[in-house]
């Protein structure tokens, strides 16, 4: 599996990639890049993220999603779902190929992950723990409050992964060595 382009600030905000509902043995959508902007500012994003920047990407408290086919072409009819503990809302991409939806709920990343989950519809990885942080863990000064953070994720269609063979189980066997009988735990295949 190829490595993901990951903004380390996501980890500080307790954002993660959730594969728990994914069936990787079938074609699926994998997150290939994820980053944040603060107050719509692109000055401090990782250098690789600037390649995705377009004039229309300026929201300051949104989730943005883009889906790419296996060949790298934009999937223009892709659907995206933002979910939270008691609801959800969906979006499809705009003319620029990005779906976006505003977020409002705040959280304290010192205590918990954010309440939102952002995903490409279908068999896909999920960007989990998204929300508006009350504090920025990397900031040395700052005020408390819902900081305006936008979350960006790019999914790419991926070939099925080979199923993982099951681990051999340990089973007890009785071995006879002449007049002695010994118990041995051996792996059965």
Q: What is the pLDDT of residues 112-121, one digit of tens each?
A: 999 999 999 9
Nearest to 40 by CA among 186, 156, 118, 149: 149
Please report which helix (H) or strand (E) contains residue 11, including its range.
Answer: helix 8-12
Cα–Cα distances in angstroms (integers) from residue 27 to residues 5, 7, 97, 172, in the given order: 21, 26, 21, 39
Q: 152 and 36 in contact (C-beta within 8 Å)?
A: yes
Q: Give Rg (Cα) of the chain.
A: 22
- 67-83 core/surface letters (b: 16 or more CB in 10 A; e: else): bbeeeeeebeebbbbbb
pLDDT digits over 54-112, tens only?
A: 766 667 899 999 999 999 999 999 999 999 999 999 999 998 899 999 999 999 999 99
The residue extents of the domains of the chain are 5-158
28 exposed, middle or buried (CB, 10 Å; 0-12, 13-18, 19+)? buried
pLDDT at 84: 96
């Amino acid at each position: 599996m190829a490595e993901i382009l990951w903004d380390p600030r996501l980890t500080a905000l307790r954002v993660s990639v959730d594969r728990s509902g994914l069936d990787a043995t079938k074609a699926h959508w994998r997150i290939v890049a994820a980053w944040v902007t603060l107050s719509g500012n692109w000055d401090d994003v990782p250098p690789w993220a600037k390649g995705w920047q377009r004039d229309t990407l300026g929201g300051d408290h949104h989730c943005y999603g883009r889906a790419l086919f296996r060949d790298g072409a934009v999937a223009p009819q892709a659907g995206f779902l933002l979910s939270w503990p008691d609801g959800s809302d969906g979006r499809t991409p705009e003319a620029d190929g990005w779906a976006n939806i505003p977020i409002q709920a705040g959280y304290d990343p010192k205590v918990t992950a954010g309440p939102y989950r952002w995903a490409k519809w279908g068999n896909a990885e999920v960007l989990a723990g998204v929300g508006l942080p009350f504090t920025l863990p990397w900031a040395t000064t700052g005020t408390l409050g819902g900081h305006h953070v936008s979350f960006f994720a790019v999914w790419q269609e991926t070939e099925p992964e080979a199923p993982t063979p099951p681990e051999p189980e340990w089973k007890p066997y009785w071995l006879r060595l002449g007049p002695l009988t010994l118990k041995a735990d051996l792996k059965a295949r």
